[in-house]
Amino acid sequence: MALANGFDADELEEENFKRLTAQEAQELRERDPALSPWWVVGLQCAAGLAVALVAWGLSGKASVAWSAGYGALAVIIPAALFARGLMSQFSSLNAATASFGFFVWEAVKLAVSIAMIAMAPRLIVNLSWLALLAGLLVTLKMYWLALLKRPKPKQI
């Protein structure tokens, strides 16, 4: 698309684009470190174990603890699949494959979560839906905690 000054918009964008050197890219990564998705999965595992133990302690029933733990697993297993998919070599080839990979692995995560919840009555004896939902929700809230915990960008 030609602009009023005779320049093409793509040419103008390329003219303003500056590639980073390896050293500049390293400095940028050090200034604004990324939060590992595996750290988030680990946080979810700790929260899932805690909610299952609390459920057991409050109810005194193993079936309630298993229900809460299974609810947590319905978040943790899909999150681990998602993290593995995003960290794969294919997903980091370029921006297009990274974007496509994100949506594919998000769809896989949702499908596995839904399938696990649908299978819960067949897998957990004396299923407590309330405990399952508690495990699910507490574990899901760890995404928010991870956002609060993420490393802050360092000022230059």
- pLDDT tens digit string along 102-155? 898 999 999 999 999 999 999 999 999 999 999 999 999 998 887 787 766 666
- Global pTM reads 0.74
Q: How many whole angstroms separate alpha carbon 9 and alpha carbon 28?
A: 28
Query: What residue segments make up the domains of the chain, in order of their start?
Result: 34-149
**CB of 86 within 8 A of CB of 101?**
yes
**140 token code pair:** 């899901």
